[in-house]
A and B are shown apart, each in its own frame.
Chain A
Amino acid sequence: MSKVLNKRNGIIAVLILSLLFPLAFSDNKYVLYIMTLAFIYIIAIYGMNILAGYTGQLSLAHAGFFAIGAYSVGVLTTKAGLNFWLALLLAVLITMGIGFALGIIALRTKEHFFAIYTLIAGYLIYLLIYKWEGLTGGVRGLIGIPIPNAIGPIKFESPIAMYYLVLLFLLLSIFVTVRIVYSLTGRTYNAIRNSEELAQTLGINTKINKLVSFVISVSFAGLAGGLYASLVRFIGPEIAGTTMVFTFLMYLIVGGIGTLAGPIIGTLLFIWLEQYLQSFQEHKMLIFGPILTLIVIFYPRGIVGAIQSLMGYFRTRKKESSKSYKTNSESTDMKSREV
């Protein structure tokens, strides 16, 4: 039984589910659209997870970078008439460039100051987009962003095609995250998160590592923003707002910060909850806000963290009852891998 239910098979099952999903809902464009949107958010939240979850730096400018990605694609396609793919590539590069510049300055500050600094930097990005009417259309936003150009025979007019396109980018993002997390770089980030002083003592250049983590993190946001622009085809300044970054943070925390499955679980849970609570839409935060606070107090590693500690508990109990002399080092090792 436990052999069938192992992690690898679970991942394969989820992958197959996500591939088959459009076939089940091929006549329901709305469901596909919501799912595609959720995937885009997940990409952005993976970026947030790398920085906040694994490196321990809470950046509240993430929505700002999401908006920079979205507006780069929007402006480059509608005003400069560029091909979508080129615009998307440039959008990621622009986001990374701005992230690099901001990161150099922002990362000189620490902990609270970093959170406040990025919160205000994010708000500044929002104000800039809002006020710079010539470029961004101000409060009216940008309208008529084109769908991705066809690659040979593959066209992106149907929602199914968009779904698979975004899914591809999502899988790519997950792949990159997994590679980073299990690499020496990932371990380095963990060391910085757990104690920056200790990491420095071990000879880790925390400055460069934090900066690289920051740039990787914003590149995810830029990519997600670019995809968002061409999916929704209309963007307004509110995507850079504080509500947006707080929403991202909520999805991440409830799903499980510093875990690999957390962004997926948190985002899908909330996106579909919101669909069921549509009549309640305006007041949803009345419930979601306290959930966020309670989760941080009682389950700081979110749903995934809670499940992991529950599984770890059963595993140790099983071992104890079979009187195995193996200590629970294995299960603690699992935990430290932060899966």
Chain B
Amino acid sequence: MELLLQQLFNGLTLGSVYILVAIGLTLVFGILHVPNFAHGALYLIGGYLTLMAMKGLGVHYFVAIIISMISVALIAILMERLVFNPLRNAPAIHDKIAAIGMVLFFDALVSLIWGNDYQRMITPYGDSVTIFGIATSYQRILVIVVAVVVVILLQLFLKKTMIGASIIAMAQNREGAFLVGINANAVAMMTFAISGALAAIAASISSPINLVFPAMGHIVILKAFVVVIIGGMGSVPGAIIGGLILGITESLGATYISNDYKDMIAFLLLIIIMTVRPKGLFAKGVY
């Protein structure tokens, strides 16, 4: 029983990170109908910027996260302006290829600037702690707390503010949004900025557990795709449910099936789901 609880908790930590990455991906998909293959690159840069801000500037962990969020949001806006905006009327295959070009570029850039070594991110929350018989660390608790707070703030933003409402409106009906005078460019830039900032937070809170290295974006983006497809492309609640399903499945699978094959579980899950439901579990059938 204790082992099960322990694994559920670990799954929750894993899932929290997946949720933050996947929400960014799903928001962008909702607006532009583009799966942003370069989202993993934003995650990668986010992790490194936090680490470098802490090491180079010597600022506190939370300050470093904020610096990283702002920088990655700006990079994401640039990405939208320079790459996705010119391609908005191109055939569906093009934006994916352009995104792959950016992935290759950012991977090379990171390894050029910061090297290929695995680096540890040491935070003030590394101590371990035992709650209700579950051995964990403050960092893992922090991951869950941050994810919950961010998701609640994001929901408030999307539901209660005008800018948030315009993002939802454009995701629901593009032409309708234009008719009521929503500025498509502003919404697209805003969405990319949010998506980048979320990727930066996710990387910053998971890096103290998982190390920082140039390939860290690859596997995360693949798993975020799994989450988004489970939850239905473009749906924020779907991404939350999908993230939890994936995190917990992986964590339980690693314990009860095989630790070696734990990455495979996620992808097999997706293959099975897409085999049965080609558009994902909770797809609304809009796209």
Contact = CB atoms under 8 A, between A and B. Distances in A.
Interface centre among B109, B260, B270, B274 (most CB of A within 10 A): B274
Interface residues of B, number: 46
A237 to B, nearest CB: 13
Nearest to A193: B91
Interface in A287-322: 288-294, 296-297, 300
B109 to A, nearest CB: 6
Given A119-B222, A292-B101, A297 B108 contact: no
Interface stretch (B57-65, B177-185, B225-233, B248-256): B225-233
Nearest to B280: A113
A242 interface: yes
Contact of A56 (B93, B226, B263): B93
Contacts of A239: none
B111 interface: yes
What secondary structure prevails in chain A residues at the interface with B?
helix
Contact of A109 (B94, B100, B263, B278): B278
A326 interface: no
A110 B109 CA distance: 33
Interface residues of A, number: 41
Contacts of B270: 117, 120
What secondary structure prevails in chain B residues at the interface with A?
helix
Interface stretch (A34-42, A80-88, A277-285, A330-338): A277-285
B96 A115 contact: yes
A29 interface: no
Contacts of A131: 260-261, 264
Interface stretch (A121-129, A140-148, A205-213, A265-273): A121-129
Contact of A112 (B86, B97, B233, B264): B233
B83 interface: yes
A176 interface: no
B260 A284 contact: no
Contact of A300 (B90, B96, B111, B274): B90
B131 to A, nearest CB: 34
B233 A297 contact: no
Contacts of A58: 93, 96-97
Contacts of A123: 222, 267
Contact of B35 (A112, A285, A286): A112
Contact of B107 (A52, A285, A294): A285
A105 interface: yes
A59 B33 CA distance: 18
Nearest to A108: B278
B101 A113 contact: no
A297 B83 contact: yes
A289 B83 contact: no
B98 A293 contact: yes
Contact of B103 (A117, A283, A289, A296): A289
Contacts of A290: 101, 105
B130 interface: no
A105 B103 contact: no
B186 interface: no
A296 B112 contact: no
A249 B218 CA distance: 17
Contacts of A113: 229, 233, 274, 278-280
A246 B104 contact: yes
A288 B279 contact: no
Contacts of A110: 278
Given A124-B271, A127-B267, A293 B101 contact: yes
B153 interface: no
A131 B112 CA distance: 30
Contact of B267 (A52, A124, A292): A124
B111 to A, nearest CB: 7
B222 A283 contact: no
Contacts of B222: 119-120, 123
B97 A249 contact: yes
Interface in B247-287: 260-261, 263-264, 267-268, 270-271, 274-275, 278-280
Interface in B205-263: 218, 222, 225-226, 229, 233, 260-261, 263
12 contacts: A108-B278, A116-B229, A120-B267, A120-B271, A124-B264, A283-B108, A286-B112, A289-B102, A289-B107, A292-B100, A293-B98, A293-B105
Task: Report, nearest first, the 10 A-B pairs whose CB atoms are least far apart.
Answer: A289-B105, A292-B101, A293-B101, A289-B104, A285-B108, A285-B104, A286-B108, A108-B278, A109-B278, A296-B98
